Amino acid sequence: MTSNATPAATASWRQRIAGGAAVRLESLAVLILLCVVMAVLSSAFLSVSNILNILLSTSVFGVLAIGMTFVISSAGIDLSVGSILALSGVVGAMLTSNLDLPWWIGILGCLATGALTGAVNGFLVTKAAIPPFIVTLGMLGVARGIALVLSDGVSIYGLAPQMVWLGQGRPFGVPAPVIVLLLTALIAHIVLAHTRFGVYAQVIGDNEVAARAMGVRVERMKVMLYTLSGLLSGLAGLLFAARINSGEPTAGLSYELTAITATILGGTNLFGGRGSVVGTLIGALIMGVLQNGLNLMAVRPFYQQIAIGAVLILAVWLDRINNSEGWRR
């Protein structure tokens, strides 16, 4: 009796802690399969420099997707990440290029701009009780607009060299953005799967009423989640600007959709309750590999969009098949 009386919610936490750590095999299978196919079709695919090239291409939207994983796990959505990316990059470029401030202020400026914009999202979602879809859709326009106003629509060239190193440097031959992506993923994985913050985020996504009843401070959590997504968008903006040594007000157009796609490909449930950072990383890599392979084969970009859409549907379908055969009641 006593052992059976464990509250259901607690049991599902445990499941989640274990489940969150596990990589979804369907996504991994799709990734491996894609790599095999691409390696067969293009001789240039399987080389160290091309694999680093894929990771480099994945780094900016991979960081965005990691933030998105947290928000979607909690049954939220953040459509403003691409615009926050542009705004943060522009702010970072202005601080170091136009105002000649030191590099660390530029980096902090990017991150702070992202976090602050994300916090505004979070406050509007909780205090004003506006649905996140609408808040972040609004912010998509506002942040992009501010980026265009600040920069007068023109890219701001010439960041501090230390910032540029973050985008173009190659410590031990590995592009710096790749290292940033992997470190971010490692930390985010630990936070989402093994800390109370991460578990609460998924509990809110699973059942907000129950989470409240359990004493989770839902409002505070949500503000933190959107702030985190904003912060990571700021980091992605920093990487983007550093990669090309310039703050672009038009950077990251429609990246919110790319980030959502990578997140869903990785097995995070679009309606909340289940999220995996490792899965998201795999999802982002699926898109990176697909794009790279198709580019290597000089497939026209129109077909590439079809391929990415098809793989998304395929991966979610695999998930469905597996769930209906497997553990789901």
Partner 1 sequence: MLKQCIVAVLSAALALGLAVAGASAADKPTYGVLMKTLSNPFWGAMQKGVEEGAKGAGVDIYLQAVESDQAAEPELNACNTMLQKKPAAMITAAINSTILLPCLKQANEMKIPVVDLDNNLDPAITKKAGVDIAVHIGSDNEAAGAKGADWLVGQLGKDAKGPVLVIEGLSGNITGKKRAVGFAAELKKQAPGLNIVASLPGDWDSLKAANITNDTLQRNPDLVAVFCANDDMALGALEAARSAGKDKVIVIGVDGNTNAVKSIKAGRLNASVAQLPYLVGMQSVENVKKALAGDKVEEMTYVPTLVLTKEVIDANKDPLLQYVK
Torsion angles phi and psi, residue 256, rounded to 5: -60, -35
C-beta closer to partner 1: residue 207 or 322? 322
Min CB(47)–partner 1 separation in Å: 7
Residues in the chain: 329
Min CB(293)–partner 1 separation in Å: 8
DSSP class of residue 318? H
Contact indicator for 222, 204 with CB cutoff of 8 Å: yes
H or E element at residue 192:
helix 176-194
C-beta closer to partner 1: residue 182 or 299? 299
Min CB(16)–partner 1 separation in Å: 24
Query: Quick one: CA torsion of 28, 33, 38, 43, rounded to 10 degrees?
Result: 100
Min CB(37)–partner 1 separation in Å: 5
Of 221, 317, 224, the C-alpha closest to 264 is 317
Q: Can you give the binding site for partner 1, defined by CB under 8 A?
A: 26, 29-30, 33-34, 36-38, 41, 44, 47, 49-50, 53, 56-57, 60, 148, 151, 153-155, 157-158, 167-168, 240, 243-246, 248-253, 290-307, 310-311, 314, 317-318, 321-322, 325
- β-partners of residue 246 are 157
Min CB(142)–partner 1 separation in Å: 17
C-beta closer to partner 1: residue 192 or 259? 259
Q: Tell me the C-alpha distance between 107 and 92, whole Å.
A: 6
C-beta closer to partner 1: residue 76 or 266? 266
C-beta closer to partner 1: residue 60 or 211? 60
Tally helices (H) and strands (E) across the chain.
14, 2
Min CB(245)–partner 1 separation in Å: 7
Instruction: Specify the amino acid at residue 170.
Output: R
C-beta closer to partner 1: residue 57 or 73? 57
